[in-house]
Structure formats: C-alpha cells, structure tokens
Amino acid sequence: MLFNFVLSLHIFVVLCAIGLAGALHAAEILMRRASSVAELRVLAKPGKFGPAFGVIVLALFGLGSWLVSLSPSDEKFHMKDPFIWTAIVVLVFLFVTGPAVNGRHHTKLDKAIEAAPEGPISGELRTLALDPTAAIFGYVNTMIAIAVVFNMANKPSTAISIIVILGGAVVGTALGWLTSRPVAATAAVGAPAAD
C-alpha cells in the first residue's frame, strides 16, 4: 500500500517536470519569432521557474530511493539495477547542468532584456535569447529525462538503458539546435520569415 502511494507521488513529480519543461520549451520556440523586446520580455518569464527543477530532481531521487527500499521482496529492486543507476547518473547530470548552463543563461538573458530599450530586438539580444548551447542543454535534459522514464517502465539491460539515454541526448541535441535558429531576423524588415 505504501509502495503504491510513493509510486504515485513519484509519477506526479515526473508529470510536474514534464509540464514545466513543456512550458519552457514552448517559450523558447516562440522566442524564435519574437519581433520586439516587449514580446521577448513576456516569453522569458517562464524561465524564472527553472530553479524548480532542482527541487524536482531532489524529490525524484528521494522518492525513487524510497521506492527501492519499499519494493516487494519477490521483485526487489536494487541501486545496481541498470534502470536505477543510469537514472541516478542522469539526475546528477540534470542537477549540475540545469543551474550551470540554463540557469546562468536565463540570468544573463533577463539582465540583457531589462537593459534593452523598447522596440525591435537587436541582433546581439536575439543571439543571446537563442543561444544554441542553452537550447541544446535544455532539450538534452528533457529528452534524457524522458529516456529514464522509458527505462523505468521497461527495465531493460545495462546496454539498452545506456543506448536509450544516449539516443535521448542525440534527439535533444537536434531539437535544441533546431529551436535556436532564428526565424524573425528578416521578418523585422518585411521579408517573409522562413522555418
């Protein structure tokens, strides 16, 4: 009974993470088409919730560890199980790269937006808003987290667990690179925007 309750909490926290990541990625995608500093200011607001990922990662680790200790004896889970230790590695990666890359980028972007005059977005500000490194890390973090969910549901071997996570990293890299391409740079002067 307690195991199922903790599992429900664990799943709820995962859903919160997916919802928050979805809001952040939607704002990033919309930034590609932003044409004014006012628009960019609004679209940067979801980034303020980024630090919540730290709490989410700690909650996932705590609840996951509790689930391992509560697992039924007939299917006892151990920290050495591939789907568990690879998840721990991913959580550590998320906990480090979230604030070090995306948190730092959002702070820098916020300051640049506040300092920018109203009107069209300067090339320098657009370059900062669509920073490929931050976009790639953001999407990699999301996709490897989804890969962990896949591994948790399927409990594959070590090799498959690692391949799934690496596959998530490759997909995340591609998505991050694609969403860091501006589409409104020429739209400001009247030319049609290209995707």
- Number of domains composing the chain: 1
CA distances for 21 relative to 46, 135, 145, angstroms: 10, 12, 10
Q: Is 112 domain-assigned?
A: yes
Over residues 39-89, the pLDDT tens digits come to 999 999 999 998 999 999 999 999 999 999 998 776 788 899 999 999 999
Please tell me the distance from the alpha carbon of residue 81 to that of residue 58, in angstroms, as a whole number. Answer: 20
Cβ proximity of 175 and 140 under 8 Å: no
User: Looking at the predicted structure, is the pLDDT value of residue 194 above 80?
Assistant: no
DSSP 8-state symbol, 71:
S
Domain region containing 115? 2-184
Q: Is 195 domain-assigned?
A: no
pTM attached to this predicted model: 0.86
**Locus of tokens 């088409």:** 33
Please tell me the distance from the alpha carbon of residue 123 to that of residue 126, in angstroms, as a whole number. Answer: 5
Question: Range with the lowest mean pLDDT among 94-103, 114-123, 137-146, 183-192?
Answer: 183-192
Q: Is 192 domain-assigned?
A: no
Within a 10 A sphere around the Cβ of 142, how many other Cβ atoms?
23
Q: Is 131 domain-assigned?
A: yes
* Mean pLDDT, range 155-160, rounded to an integer: 96
Q: At what angle do helices 52-70 and 82-97 cross, to 10 degrees?
A: 160
Q: Is 55 domain-assigned?
A: yes
User: Which residues sit opposite 120 in a β-bridge?
Assistant: 36
Q: Is 191 domain-assigned?
A: no
Q: What is the mean pLDDT of the chain?
A: 90
Q: Is 190 domain-assigned?
A: no
Question: Range with the lowest mean pLDDT among 68-82, 93-107, 179-193?
Answer: 179-193
Q: Is 153 domain-assigned?
A: yes
